[in-house]
């Protein structure tokens, strides 16, 4: 046994088992997140049942079971649930009943022993709405300008083309409001700032002022035309209304303008449900959020996360590489250089919120405020760069990840044999040429390793971003079709903050919980995709310069 320990085999096995356990835990966590998040998009069956109330009367319930748990019977009785059997524990279900505009809530807990005559009728419909969440019920009639045009079985035949028409009109309205009118408002704001600039500089140029007035008139004319078109589209989209019967027997009127889709999950086969599933997944990654981020998609958060990481990478890579090259190749190796290296290593352990406070104070208030005074005085007192935005968030995370890039690059430079440098110098190259043409290309895989570590850390940070640019809902993306196209001063959405907001700040916790898992899985996938891209570049560089190392 003593010889076995001396051979080192136990430590090899211990290391291998530790790595295996870590991999199993990571994979298990990802599988848990995937299982809890991806099931959210599957169309669950809707149950209809009679539920025994505390006064022994029954009422009809309608909805989908989203969760279940085993609870002690005495605990439910203490919570006011009566008529329970004399058992130590009972199962209860979390039922998504929808119809929040009628009942004031989307979910309710029901005890399994109090459910009677449970069925899954095929005629029940689920209506995904833009407001008030889902609606559950039975189709009664469809109305055009307040008059019934179809009832009973004839509703489905009329509903499909009319819903398609409403969705087409909604897309046209959204395009006009979000893009066309948005561009006009952006242009009017630019003209206002130009006019204000002339006033501040005391420039009384009649020709420039006339050009501004002419441009204003043209934009206002376009705005009036779009408003007229919008009025007509709104009049058309409000034409049709769907009437459904809710679980309590009351009638609900749902305008088709507020409907995203209608489906009958109990009547859908496996292929229809699979098609619906992928439609919902695509909506999740490509659409804008709605209902306080508990419905719709998270495309702005994906876009903001990727764009922030790209800007951060563009900033941190040259600064980190230059700092590492100076410390390794040019700086005199003495106590001062050693102190700087110690300081760089210590910076990697500073809590991220400290960087956020620094970014808010230095970048936003000091640097951004001075930029506004120098270059954007016409916009004051409304700040342009003196407010949190994607540029300050990227700079803050660049400083946060800078030590990682410096250390990784220095390690790469130290592994390059001294003979290569000496050979280059012997052939007549200068030190700068040796660095640029020989040393730096060979160290590029190490630089990419530092960038990979920086991306992995920056993409998941949330605390500093809450201070320097991220918001719950951003009305416009940082990149659009308005000149100069890339708007670094704008606030943005981020997947990490979206998880925090939906999971801990949502007014509808039960509806938000599956989205937390789905968004967390998507954040992991985005980080993996970014890292794989960087790893592919690193491997390509490593193969390209392998011959030089030999």
Q: What is the domain count for the chain?
A: 4
The pTM (predicted TM-score) of the whole model is: 0.88
What would the two tokens of residue 257 be?
């303008």
Asked if the structure places residue 270 within a domain, the reply is no
pLDDT attached to residue 333: 82
Does residue 427 share a domain with residue 363? yes
Give per-residue pLDDT as tens, 348-396. Answer: 888 899 999 999 999 999 999 999 999 999 888 889 899 999 999 999 9
Straight-line distance from the first to the last Cα atom of the chain, in angstroms, rounded to the nearest whole number:
42
Whether residues 68 and 206 fall in one domain: no
CB atoms within 10 A of CB 152: 10
Main-chain phi, psi angles of 85, to 5 degrees: -70, 165
- 7 lies in the same domain as 82: no
Residue 28 main-chain phi, psi, to 5 deg? -60, -40
pLDDT for 396 equals 95
Same domain, 13 and 72: no
Let me know whether 197 and 322 are in one domain: no
Q: Are residues 440 and 470 in the same domain?
A: yes
Whether 195 and 70 map to the same domain: the answer is no
Gap between the Cα atoms of 151 and 136, Å rounded: 18
Are residues 525 and 473 both part of a single domain?
A: yes
Predicted pLDDT of residue 165 = 93
Alpha carbons 398 and 452: distance in angstroms, whole number: 13
409 with 526, same domain: the answer is yes
CATH of the domain at 434: 1.10.3720.10
* Cβ proximity of 181 and 220 under 8 Å: no
Strands 47-52 and 115-119: antiparallel
Structure tokens at 158: 């009329």
pLDDT in tens, 30-58: 888 888 888 888 898 999 999 988 888 88
At what angle are helices 9-38 and 509-544 packed, to 10 degrees?
130
Selection from 311, 312, 273, 280 nearest residue 297 by Cα: 280
Which of 202, 218, 238 terminates a domain? The answer is 238
Structure tokens at 480: 């659009």
Tell me what pLDDT residue 546 has.
Answer: 67
Q: Phi then psi for 360, rounded to 5 degrees?
A: -65, -45
pLDDT tens per residue across all 550 residues of the chain: 677 667 777 778 888 889 899 999 988 988 888 888 888 888 989 999 999 888 888 899 999 998 888 999 888 888 888 888 888 898 999 999 888 888 888 888 999 999 998 999 998 999 999 888 899 999 999 998 888 888 877 888 888 899 999 999 999 999 999 889 989 999 999 999 988 888 888 888 888 888 889 999 999 999 999 999 999 999 999 999 999 999 888 888 999 999 999 999 999 999 999 999 999 999 999 998 888 788 888 999 999 999 999 999 999 999 999 999 888 888 888 888 888 888 888 888 888 999 999 999 999 999 999 999 999 998 888 898 999 999 999 999 999 999 999 988 988 888 888 888 888 888 888 888 888 888 888 888 888 888 888 888 888 888 899 999 899 888 788 988 888 888 999 999 999 999 888 888 877 777 788 888 888 888 888 888 888 888 888 887 777 766 555 5
Domain extent at residue 36:
2-41
Contact yes or no for 137/246 (Cβ under 8 A): yes
Give the pairing of strands 295-296 and 147-151. unpaired
DSSP state of 492: B
Contact criterion met (CB below 8 Å) for 469 and 311: no
Q: How far apart are CA 143 and CA 159, in angstroms?
A: 10
Token output for 423: 């050979």
Query: Which parts of 399-542 are beta strand (E)?
Result: none
In this predicted structure, what is the pLDDT of residue 162?
92
CB atoms < 10 A from the CB of 531, how many?
A: 16
Specify if 165 maps to a domain.
Answer: no
Angstrom distance (rounded) from CA 191 to CA 209 = 10
pLDDT of 132: 87
- Are residues 266 and 120 in contact, defined by beta-carbon separation less than 8 angstroms? yes
Co-location of 55 and 33 in the same domain: no
Task: Tell whether 217 and 340 lie within a shared domain.
Answer: no
pLDDT at 549: 53
| Residue 503 buriedness (CB in 10 A; 0-12 / 13-18 / 19+) | middle
Same domain, 55 and 7: no
The answer to whether residue 100 is domain-embedded is yes
Neighbours of 240 (CB within 10 A): 21
In a domain, 218, yes or no: yes
């Amino acid at each position: 046994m003593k010889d076995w320990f001396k051979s080192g085999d136990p430590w090899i096995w211990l290391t291998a088992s530790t790595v295996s356990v870590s991999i199993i835990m990571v994979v298990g966590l990802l599988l848990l997140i995937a299982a809890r998040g991806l099931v959210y998009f599957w169309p669950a069956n809707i149950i209809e049942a009679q539920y025994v109330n505390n006064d022994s009367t029954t009422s009809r319930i309608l909805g989908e079971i989203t969760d279940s748990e085993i609870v002690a019977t005495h605990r439910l009785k203490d919570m006011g649930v009566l008529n329970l059997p004399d058992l130590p524990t009972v199962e209860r279900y979390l039922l998504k009943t929808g119809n929040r505009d009628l009942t004031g809530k989307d979910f309710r807990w029901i005890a399994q022993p109090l459910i009677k005559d449970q069925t899954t009728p095929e005629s029940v419909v689920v209506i995904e709405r833009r407001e008030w969440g889902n609606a559950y019920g039975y189709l009664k009639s469809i109305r055009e300008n307040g008059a019934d045009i179809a009832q009973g079985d004839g509703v489905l035949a009329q509903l499909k083309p009319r819903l398609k028409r409403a969705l087409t009109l909604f897309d046209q309205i959204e395009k006009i409001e979000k893009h066309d009118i948005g561009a006009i408002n952006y242009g009017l704001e630019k003209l206002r700032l130009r006019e204000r600039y002339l006033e501040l500089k005391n420039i009384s140029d009649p020709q420039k002022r006339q050009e501004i007035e002419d441009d204003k008139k043209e934009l206002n004319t376009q705005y009036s035309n779009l408003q007229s078109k919008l009025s007509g589209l709104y009049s058309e989209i409000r034409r049709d209304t769907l009437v459904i019967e809710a679980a309590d027997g009351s009638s609900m009127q749902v305008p088709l303008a507020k409907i995203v889709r209608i489906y009958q999950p109990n009547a859908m086969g496996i292929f229809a449900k699979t098609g619906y599933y992928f439609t919902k997944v695509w909506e999740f990654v490509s659409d804008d959020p709605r209902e306080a981020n508990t419905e719709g998609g998270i495309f702005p958060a994906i876009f903001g996360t990727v764009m922030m990481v790209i800007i951060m990478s563009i900033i941190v890579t040259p600064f980190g590489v230059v700092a590492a090259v100076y410390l390794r190749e040019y700086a005199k190796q003495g106590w001062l250089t050693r102190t700087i290296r110690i300081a760089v290593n210590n910076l990697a352990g500073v809590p991220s919120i400290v960087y956020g406070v620094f970014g808010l104070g230095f970048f936003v208030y000091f640097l951004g405020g001075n930029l506004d005074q120098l270059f954007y005085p016409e916009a004051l007192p409304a700040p342009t760069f003196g407010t949190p935005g994607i540029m300050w968030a990227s700079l803050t995370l660049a400083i946060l990840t800078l030590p990682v890039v410096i250390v990784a690059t220095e390690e790469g430079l130290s592994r390059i044999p001294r003979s290569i440098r000496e050979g280059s110098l012997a052939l007549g190259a200068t030190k700068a040429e040796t660095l640029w043409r020989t040393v730096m290309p060979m160290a590029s895989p190490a630089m990419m390793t530092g960038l990979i570590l920086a991306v992995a850390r920056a993409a998941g940070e949330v605390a500093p971003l809450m201070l320097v640019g991220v918001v719950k809902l951003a009305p416009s993306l940082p990149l659009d079709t308005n000149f100069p196209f890339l708007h670094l001063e704008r606030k943005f959405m981020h997947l990490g903050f979206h998880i925090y907001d939906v999971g801990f700040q949502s007014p509808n916790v039960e509806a938000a919980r599956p989205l937390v898992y789905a968004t967390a899985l998507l954040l992991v996938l985005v980080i993996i995709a970014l890292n794989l891209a960087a790893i592919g570049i690193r491997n390509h560089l490593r193969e390209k310069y392998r011959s030089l190392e030999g």
